[in-house]
Copies of this chain bind each other. A is one copy, B any other.
């Protein structure tokens, strides 16, 4: 784990966000989860639900996304997922289509080369990618 709560708060301060209780609890929850979470899921988390409103979490997540501190992901659900961006660490995910479990993949991401190729061939800028594997986990099989 190359990031802790204090460092995250500093990055937030650097982006002009204020040091509020809600922000701290939200970042702590995302950090502990170590995988993407939906707004609804975050809201149900013990600490967050007692500390702040759904709209607050929603707006914080979007501010954090603008600041480049969290990333918004699709992941095939109706609800949007959000995950912390850890500097110099790219994450892909393995998702069970049965129970919905989401696990980060340990293996190094194999598409950086293709990303470079696309950048030069198409002229797209600020490229990034999202890679997810879907399947049935052993428990659900």
Contact = CB atoms under 8 A, between A and B. Distances in A.
Interface of A: 72-78, 80, 94, 96-97, 105, 107, 110-111, 113-115, 117-119, 122-138, 141
B129 A125 contact: no
Contact of A118 (B74, B75, B94, B115): B94
Most buried by B among A78, A134, A135: A135
A94 B124 contact: yes
So how many copies of this chain end up in the complex? 2
A133 B118 contact: yes
Contact of A124 (B115, B125, B136): B136
Given A110-B113, A133-B118, A141 B127 contact: no
Contacts of A74: 73-77, 132
